[in-house]
Amino acid sequence: MAVMNEPAQQTELEAEDFGKRVKSAIFWRSGTQILAQAISWGATLAVIRILDPHDYGLFAMTQVVLVFLNFLNGHGFVGALVQSRDVEPIRIRQAFGLLLLLNMTLALLQVFVAAPLAADYYREPDIASIMRWQALIYLATPFLILPEAMMTRELEFRKPAIINLLTALVGCTVSIVMAMLGYGVWTLVVAPIAMFWSRAMMLTWTTRLLVWPSFDFRGSGTMFAFGMTMLASHGFWIVQSQSDIFIAGRQFNPHELGLYAEALFITQIFAAKFVPPLNEVAFPAYARMQHDPSALASSFLKAIRLIMLIACPLYLGMAISAGPFVETIMGPKWTGAIPLVQILALAMPFMTLQILFAPAVNALGKPSLTMKASIVGAILMPITYSFTIQYGAVGLAAGWLIAMPLLLLFTAWQARPVIGYQMRDLFTAVMPGLGAALVMAVAVWLADRAIIASVWQDAPPLLHLLALTLAGGLTYVALLRFGARATFDEVLNLVLRRKAPAITP
């Protein structure tokens, strides 16, 4: 009997080891990401107080074009190396050769074609020179993407996490120094270039992955097929995520566009900065579970439940405290962004949930589902913005609140049979965080109007924000503790790293 149980015991040990590696990856990738983002936020907030909305408006115009071209940098092709069970050395050389070809072409295309066209479209001559310098980012990309992909494949996130911190320090130093020296919009241009190149050099040196590129792509059909699907999907995602700035850039002046762009940046911080690193860990983890559908579905719903426990109170709290939040974080020159933050914050829980579907369906070898959702978004979002922009920046922000829930509904419905959940399961996973956050938001809003507004009308923005945050935090924790005890205990066990109680058969 002992001999017969050896395979089962070995499988159990492998599963336990894999679980430890996933937890370690999450710790390093998300834990250090918080520290790196804290450094970046400190620099960003300092720079925001020095620069003007006009500078951020010009930078936002260049970012639209940069992001549109950057989706062609070959990241989707290299993603096939993560998804594959085995990777031959020739595939790594082919991937490196492809990255070099693509990114050198993109750099030339941006310098000689995209830069003058963008300057004409936005009617801002400075855009051309800014974009020509930004082309340096493409030249660093091959030496950044490939080492990251190979370490992601092995769930090795400790070294990249340390490099993240060092890169954040580089960007922080460059941006603050240039802002204080009065370089204006060039502060926003040079800092990312310095971060890309420093990260690329550190990753290449750490992994020793400076292979000789191969431009003979025979036998790489699987990589190209997976990459093309991911490329198309990401291209449509770029359209839906950048179309608001692209449409507004021609109709708004740089000051108004800067207010909108930074309101969007502030409200997207959690969805855009914290969730993607978790998805980087989730993708290879889901790929290892693709032959165990029930385990994958259970892990997917658990991830949604835990992440929405953070996203819902964060964004609803941001919406009800937008006034003191903007004045404290961004400064008095940004008060025009307050109504934009209020509206955009309400749309961000939907966006956060939307982002969580991609790694699960991609790991199951179904990137076409991600592409379908991106196609719908690329059609739905620009059409919505085209109608709502007539009401100015507030209307553009409202477009997010209209279109994003519709896109989420489509994504959740089409992913249902692939991941293996029912819509009621998804609703059950979201409700602990959403329900408690809604009650918290109403309670804090009433307290703010009934108490703070009448008794402490001249409260400094910082103290006002701290009071609202403390009231909201205590209310939310109490609601979870007494209204969703199982979820509360699950989070407590996760934070304290305690094991859940064993279930007796």
pLDDT exceeds 50 at position 504: no
pLDDT exceeds 50 at position 1: no
pLDDT in tens, 483-496: 766 666 666 665 55
Question: Whole-angstrom Cα distance, residue 360 to residue 297?
Answer: 9
Question: Whole-angstrom Cα distance, residue 172 to residue 169?
Answer: 5
pLDDT in tens, 394-425: 999 999 999 999 999 999 999 888 888 889 99
**Cβ proximity of 167 and 198 under 8 Å:** yes
Between 42-51, 184-193, 429-438, the lowest mean confidence (pLDDT) is in 42-51
pLDDT exceeds 50 at position 499: no
* pLDDT range class, residue 369, cuts 50, 70, 90: confident
* pLDDT value, residue 228: 61
Question: Whole-angstrom Cα distance, residue 471 to residue 324?
Answer: 14
Helix residue ranges, H only, 88-182: 89-109, 115-122, 126-134, 136-140, 142-153, 158-180
* pLDDT value, residue 503: 36
* pLDDT value, residue 24: 53
Question: Whole-angstrom Cα distance, residue 90 to residue 145?
Answer: 17
End-to-end CA distance of the chain: 21
Question: Whole-angstrom Cα distance, residue 325 to residue 318?
Answer: 7
* CB crowding 26-39: b at 16 or more within 10 Å, else e: bebbbebbeebbeb
pTM of the complete model beyond 0.85: no
Question: Whole-angstrom Cα distance, residue 313 to residue 327?
Answer: 20
At 338, list the tokens: 């307050």
At 201, list the tokens: 């050099």
Task: For residue 435, give the nearest of 468, 480, 472 by alpha carbon.
Answer: 480
pLDDT exceeds 70 at position 226: no
pLDDT exceeds 90 at position 318: yes
Indicate the domain borders of the chain: 1-219
Q: How many CA atoms lie within 13 A of 219 on its CB side?
A: 11
Alpha-carbon distances, residue 346 vs 397, 403, 435 (angstroms): 10, 12, 14
* pLDDT value, residue 492: 61
* pLDDT value, residue 489: 67
pLDDT exceeds 90 at position 131: yes
Torsion, Cα 31 34 39 44, to 10 degrees, reads 160
For the ranges 99-108, 143-152, 378-387, the one whose mean pLDDT is highest: 378-387
Question: Whole-angstrom Cα distance, residue 352 to residue 430?
Answer: 11
